[in-house]
Structure 1
Amino acid sequence: MTADAPLPARPATLEDVAAVAGVSRATVSRVINGATTVDPALRRMVEEAVDATGYVPNRAARSLVTRRTDSVALVVSERERRPVSEPFIGRMFSDPYFGRVVSGLLEVLRPAGIQLVLMLADDQSSRDQLLSYLRHGHVDGVVLISSHADDPLPGLLHDTRLPAVLAGEPRRPTPLTYVEADQRAGAQLAAEHLVSLGRRRIGTVSGPQDMPAGQARLTGFLDALSAHGIRDVTAVEGDFTHTGGAAAMKRLLEDRADLDAVFIASDLMALGALPVLLRAGKEIPDDIALVGFDDSSAATACDPPLTTVRQPVEEMSAEMARLLLKQIGSPGEPVPSAIFHPTLVRRRSA
C-alpha cells in the first residue's frame, strides 16, 4: 500500500450507532439484542442509525450475550429401513409436502432473522449425531416431522429441554407442543362426498399403517362409510409415494375390478394411480370417482384435476414456527398445541 493510498473504511461500531442515534451504547446493545423493554421511539432511532452507519452486528459476540444461535432445526425422522419404493432422501425431496412445510416455516422465521437447518434421522447413527448436535447448543429449537408411531425421537427430544414443536400429535405420551390437522375428519369428508355422488362400490389406497396419518385417514374413511351402511370396502396399503401409489392401485384393481370410487390417502399416490386406471380403460370420473388427500401441487398435476381433502400445510407450518418462537422467547411458559380443520376441494375427478 502506497503512502497516499486511502485507508479502508473501518466497520461501524456500537459507539458510532449510539452517536448517530443520540442514545447510550447500552441502549443500542439492548435494541440489537432484541430486548422488548426499549421504548418504541428509541428503537426506531437506533434502527435508523444502524441503517445510516451500515453497522453489522457481530453474531458470535451477540450469541455469547443472548445465548442464542438465531437458527432452528427442521428434523425429519423416518423409520429405519422402511420397505418403500423410493429411498428416504429422494422421497423427501420429491414429495410436495416437505416443500410446503419449509415454505410455511420460512414465512415466519425469515422476517425474524432465524435460519433454518435441515437435519435427517433415519437410523440409530444419524439419530445419535442429531442429539449430540442439539445438546451442544447449535440451534435454539426444533421442528420435528416424525413419520411413525413408535419413534423414540419425540421423547429423546423432550429430554434435551430444547424448545420443540411436533408436526402431528405424538402417539406416545410426550409433553411437547404439536400442530396437527384432523386427519380422521378429512378422510370422513372424502367418504361423505363419494357417498353423495351415489357411489357404493368403494375402495381405498391407504397410507402406511405404521404411520399415525395413514392410520387416521383409513379409520376415518371406513367409519364414515360404515355409518352409511357401506362395509364391503377393499383397502390396499400404499406408502405415500408416486410409484407406490401406482403399484397399490394395480393391486386394488386386481382385487376389485368393479370399483366405482376410490379414496387415495395422498395426492402424490393419486398422481401415480391415475395412469393405472386410465390404462385399465377406466374413465375418470364416469367409471371411477377419485378423491385424494393434501391438496398439494400433485392434485392439479392430475388429468383430470383431483378432487381432494385440503390440509393447510403452509398455515400449519407457519403456526409451528410461531409456537416455537414463543417457546424460545419465553422459556418455561406453556405453549398450547393447535389443531387445524381440513376442507374438501372439488375438482373434476369426483
Structure 2
Amino acid sequence: MVTKHIAPTLDDVARAAGVSRSTASRAINGGDRVSPEAQQAVDDAILRLGYAPNRAARSLVTRRTDSIALVVPEPDARILTDPFLAGVVRGVSEGLGGTDLQLVLLLARPGERPGHIARYLNSGHVDGVIIASHHKDDRLEPELRAGSLPGVFVGRPFDSAGLHYVDVDNAAGARVATQRLVDRGCRRIATLTGPQDMTATLDRFDGWRATLSRAGLPTDAVAHGDFTVQGGAAAMERVLAEHPDVDGVFAASDLMATGALQVLRAHGRSVPDDVAVVGFDALGAELTTPRLTTVLQPVVEMVAAATSTLLDMLAGEVVHPEPRIFVPRLVEGDSA
C-alpha cells in the first residue's frame, strides 16, 4: 500500500510556530505587523515542515504576482539571431538569480495592434517590467508613464520624463567610430543606420554626422537598415550604387557591419585597404573576416543596472530619476 504524502498547510505552520493563522499568513507574505519572535517561529516552522506557499492565494493577499516582464517588441526570430537581444534576455534572467521572481518574456507578434503589450502590462499580470529595443509606435512610453507599474527601459525613451532608463552614450560611440575612419584617412564615409523609430539609431546617426561635419567631409552617404545582417547587406548595396567612391563605412550595429563585409567582398572591395568598416556593439565581432573594429556596448552591465534598479523599485526603495549612462569605447580589430 502506498502512503500518499500530504503537503503541509498554513494551519500546520501556524500550529507548529505557536501563532495564529493570520499571524502566520502575515509572516509568510512580508512580515507586516509581525513581531521578530513570531517571524522567526514561522520561518523555523516552514523550514521544518517543508511548507511551500500557494502563490495564487498569496497574490490575493499581497496583490503581487512574483513575476516581472521583459518586453522586447521585436519578432521572435530576432531573439535567436541578434546577440544584443539574446544578451538582454540572459542578463535579466541572471539578474533575478537569488530572488523568487519569475521572468515573463513578451515579444511582438506579426500584425499585433499598437498598445497590445502595454495593455497587458497594465492589467496586473506582472509586478514590474524591463523594456528593451522599443520603437516609437509601441506606445510603451506613454502607457508606462500613465500607469503605476514599476519599469526600466534599456535604451533612452523618446520622451524620458518620468521614466527610468539605462543606456550607452550612442552619440559618443558613433563619434568614436567615425573619428577612427577620419583618422585613418577616409574621405567618403557612409553610414548604415538602424530603424528610424529607435532612439539608438537617431543618436548614432547624429554622432556620425557631427564628426564628419567637424572634419569638413560630406554627410550624404546614408542608407537605412534594420540592425540585421540582411538589412546591412541591402544598405551596403545601395551605398555602393549611389556612392561608388566610398572608402569608409560606419555601420550602426555589428550585424549590419557583417552584412556590409559580405557585400564588399562580393564586389571585390578589400577591407580595410579599399573600404574601412567600423561597427557598433562588440558582440561577436571577433567572428567576422576580417575581425571587425567596433564600439563596445556593455550590454551585460547595462542590463544588470536595469534589473537592479527595478528590484530596488519593487522593494519600495527611493530610486533617483537620473538615467545610468555607460561610456562606450573602441575595440580595435582588423577592418579599420
**The TM-score by the shorter chain falls in which range?**
0.7 to 0.9
Q: Please, which runs of 5 or more residues in structure 1 have no aligned partner?
A: 79-87
1:275 partnered with 2:271: no
Residues 34 and 285 of structure 1: CA distance in aligned 2, closer, same or farther (over 3 Å): farther
Q: Are the counterparts in 1 of residues 79 and 86 from structure 2 also a CA contact under 8 Å?
A: no
**Following the alignment from structure 1 to structure 2, what is the Cα–Cα distance between the partners of residues 129 and 287?**
47
Question: How many Å separate the matches in 2 of 1:264 and 1:248?
Answer: 10
Q: Deviations over 1:265-303 (max 9, x none)?
A: 111111112111111112222222211001123x23211
Matched with 2:278 is 291
> How many percent identity over aligned positions?
46
Is the Cα–Cα contact under 8 Å of residues 246 and 276 in structure 1 kept in the other structure? yes
Other-structure match for 2:303: 317
1:1-350 alignment runs, 5 A limit: 5-14=1-10, 32-35=28-31, 50-77=46-73, 88-121=75-108, 126-145=113-132, 147-149=134-136, 151-172=138-159, 174-231=161-218, 234-297=221-284, 299-330=285-316, 335-350=321-336
Q: Deviations over 1:162-205 (max 9, x none)?
A: 11112222223541111111110010110122223233332221
What secondary structure is seen at the aligned counterpart in 2 of 1:327?
A: helix
Q: For 1:255 and 1:290, how far apart are their aligned partners in 2?
A: 18
Question: 3-state DSSP class of the match of 1:293?
Answer: coil
Please, which runs of 5 or more residues in structure 2 have no aligned partner? Answer: none
Measure, in 2, the Cα distance between the counterparts of 1:125 and 1:251. 31
Which deviates the most, 318-327 or 229-238?
Answer: 229-238
The 1-side partners of 2:289 and 2:25 are apart by 57
Output the CA distance in 2 between the equivalents of 1:339 and 1:159: 24
Give the whole-Å Cα distance in 1 for the aligned partners of 2:128 and 2:176.
35
- 1:220 shift after superposition: 0.3
| CA distance in structure 2 between the partners assigned to 1:48 and 1:18 by the alignment | 11
CA distance in 2, matches of 1:90, 1:17: 47
Matched-pair contact (CA < 8 Å) for 1:327–1:335: no
- TM-score norm. by structure 2 comes to 0.86
**For residues 184 and 11 of structure 1, do their structure 2 counterparts lie closer, same or farther at Cα, with a shift above 3 Å needed?**
same
Q: 1:100-119 CA distances to partner (integer Å, 9 max, x unpaired)?
A: 11111111123212111122
More divergent stretch after superposition (267-276 vs 149-158): 149-158
TM-score (norm 1): 0.83
- Aligned alpha-carbon RMSD (Å): 3.1
Q: Which piece of structure 1 moves more, 333-342 or 265-274? A: 333-342
Letter matched to residue 277 of structure 1: L
State the shift of 1:216 in Å: 0.9
Task: Note closer, same or farther for the CA distance 1:63–1:277 as it changes in structure 2 (3 Å cut).
Answer: same
Q: Is the alpha carbon distance of 1:112 and 1:227 closer, same or farther for their aligned partners in structure 2, counting shifts above 3 Å?
A: same
d(CA) in 2 for partners of 1:40, 1:242: 58
Query: Kindly tell me: are residues 336 and 37 of structure 1, through their superposed partners in 2, closer, same or farther at Cα, counting changes over 3 Å?
Result: farther
Q: Distance in 2 between matches of 1:181 and 1:39?
A: 45
Give the corresponding residue for 1:81. none
Partners of 1:74 and 1:143 within 8 A in 2: yes
| Distance change in 2, residues 1:260/1:61 (3 Å) | same
Counterpart amino acid of 2:314?
I
SS at match of 2:165: strand
Residue 136 of structure 1: how far off its partner (Å): 2.8
**CA separation in 2, counterparts of 1:61 and 1:107?**
27
- What is the CA distance between 1:346 and its match in structure 2? 1.1
When residues 58 and 75 of structure 1 are mapped into structure 2, their CA distance, relative to the original with a 3 A threshold, is same
Q: Give yes or no for contact 1:150–1:172 (8 Å, CA) kept in 2.
A: no
TM-superposed deviation, 1:69: 0.4
Aligned equivalents of 1:120, 1:247: Cα separation in 2: 25
How much does 1:29 deviate? 5.0
- Give the partner amino acid of 2:155: G
How far is the alpha carbon of 1:150 from its aligned partner? 5.0
- Write out per-residue CA displacement over residues 50-93 of structure 1, whole angstroms, 9 at most, x where no aligned residue: 45533222111222222110111122336xxxxxxxxx333343
1:240-284 CA-to-partner distances (Å, cap 9, x unmatched) read 111111111111112222332211111111111211111111222
Distance (Å, rounded) in 2 between the aligned partners of 1:341 and 1:101: 18
Q: How many residues align?
A: 335
**Cα distance in 2, alignment partners of residues 160 and 235 from structure 1:** 39
